[in-house]
Structure 1
Amino acid sequence: MPDERPGGLVAGIPLGPGTPARRPTPEPKPAPRPTQVPDHVAQPDKPVPLDAAPVDPDDRLPLGFAKISVHPALDDRGREVFWLKGLSSDPQTRLDSEHPWLPPADLALHRLRKGGKAPPPSEILLGLAEWSLGQDDLVCWINALRARYGPDLQLVIWDDTDYDIPWELLNLGARDGGGLVSEILGALVTVVRWSSSLHCGPASPLGVPASCAGHVLGYYAHGMTRDADAFDGFEHEPHIGSIETFLAELTRPDLGAGLVYMGCHAEHGSKLNEVTLAELTWSEYYWSAMPSLSGGSTLVYLNACDSARLVDNHGRGDNALRGFPELFLRKGAGACIATSGKVGDDVAHELVRELVGRVCADPELPVARALREFRAGALARLPDTLPRARNGLAQRRILLFLYSFMFLFFGHPFTTLQLSERTPEVPA
């Protein structure tokens, strides 16, 4: 029989001082469950004009910022759809869906690398260009903001769905003959992710940006220790294959880590008990005390497949989206990087090396912008003409490009990272 702790929790789940015995305070705002499409959003076959909407002074955003809110709903046939609302720092520049849209489920990036059932990478890219053609209002709205703010535009995608829509791959130029790969949102604009379920810790995409500074605390699964090479020259505390000693470090309020890095395996499922990271479930992390993150000055970087994906947790009586970015931000992290699919090891290793190199060479460079520049580099390496679907070798080039868009940033667009340099050892 397992050793029972008070409250019926089995041994291995820490309890006692420093460990929350209840849901955290403040309570996270629940992500809205799908409802009927709002009256002001017309059905596709019944377009109606919209009345003028009053300007809400609370909707004012910082200069150069824009926010796209993605709302889940059900259409009159009971299908899951979404509708959009866009706001910017100019209250007169707004976006409201005239129609609900079906999510492009076949184009989610987690569909890549699914063995024989996976579509060719070029089909994902072509499909997203076709899908973008139907997003005229959204594309025109973003391009108008780009014309006004240029590279200084900061876009927050506040997605309250679990549809896994790859917004960073929205094509902004297909309609105007800009080509299939010439104007991809995530390579042109700094994009960060958020949802209502994340709005419960110190981090906010519209509040004060986090300044993450300190040493590196790393966990590496066996077979992923190469990632640790990215932190040569910096103060680094690696834990290889021992998740328990890694978690024990997170219980230290005085840890002072600027970056918590996890290079490991993860699993995603439709229920929260199927969501794991380094072989521990979401709930096991939830009940693990992490006071070291409470200051909001630590970036959590999850180099783990599907770690950015969120789960509708209504099966546990919880009207919210749950996942690992939400969990670590709720614990107090200043920002989080995670992946929306199964990323190839080489690209994942290249990204962490490039990000660390870029942000440490320029401590004022926001992490989200460095991620945008990484995507732009991947875009520049794509051929002008996409290979045919049956050209397996050439398809790999498209796959590597799509991998670079799987990394999502949750947090303020101006969040920075400064790692402590290792003190050279003085010979005796």
Structure 2
Amino acid sequence: MRKIINLESGNLNTSGSSYSFNPWFWVSGVVTFILIVLLIWNLLHSYSTIKSFDRKELKLERASVELLYHVKSMEKSVRLGAATGDLSFKRNYEKHEEKLQTIFDEINKLVENKYVLGKIEKINKYKKQAEKIENKAFMLISYGKKKEATTLLKGWPYTKNQLFLTETTKEFTKILHRHVQKIVSLEKKFTLSSLIFVFIALVILIISWTITVKIWRRDFKKRKEKEEKIIYLNYHDALTKSYNRRLFMQAGQEEIKRAERYNKYFSLIMMDIDNFKKINDTYGHGAGDMVLKNFAGIIKKQVREVDIPARLGGDEFAVLLPETDIDVAEKVAGRIRQNIEDSKTLYKNDEIKVTVSVGVIDYRQQISDMDDLLHKADEALYRAKRIGRNCVVKNNENVNSEIY
């Protein structure tokens, strides 16, 4: 049906009472907060771990590899010098010796483990013993005693010392490598645990938000249904489901404004069941209610979608017909009257027949408002009652009555 009035005037405020407490909303909020905190903490932890790893563990592992390289390079330099008698290899030896000392200094700064420090001291001890023999070999080379230098380097003391030095350095490298692997393994476990926790939290979050949205949609639907029901009851008659007097009066006032603004016309049909009190007295109020429902149903079938049928009160009904002149309205009223006369209302084992008296009026400029229009329609209706009921009377400048 065409909307003629603004139904918001009947929309009662039910906010604050329609939505139930939703614990899943709080669960999703808490989980979201935990996820944000966890992600921020993971970022900070990852940055700190990478920085620490690069500053310490990776430097130690590189230093351990370079340590063995420089030890071997020093041994190689002194052996080549002894074999060739060339003292220029001593410069290469001193260069590796200097770098080796730098590595020892760096390792001593980075290492905190006493066991590892013990290995460093042991390597340093073997290195110093090797250096004494190597310096002695270079001195022999400087005197031209290659053979003696070669013999010295092939001797058991130097060979044994180099063997211990190499093995201890390799062991030290393995220790540092295991240390690095342990840290990497711990970080992997931590990362995996974090991912599992994040996954579980995300599952909980998805479930909680899904349930939350469902609850919100359910509550919104309930609230909407409640508001629609309130609006419906505000503008409909509970018994006949027809529009009530409130809506009818508002719609009529809107039609008057529209007619005045656009020079339109409309008509109104007023109806009253003849001897309705007698039906209640004879058959009871239940029968009276059935008659009213049947009456309302017949009216709805005989009017257009844009027309507004309403129960004004008791057994009094009316129909507002937009853009309809009084002659057409009179014919509509006649059809309604005839259908009511031909119909029967079944109540228990009784068939109840009724008739209606009808007054028809159209809007004219001298009508001021809906109350005035209803008053004049009432006059036509009671004129129909006075002349014998079960008839239609139209009220215009040339008053006349016709019986259908």
The answer to whether TM tops 0.5 is no
Higher helix share: 2
Rg (Cα) greater in structure: 2
What TM-score, normalized by structure 1, do the two folds share? 0.17
Higher strand share: 1
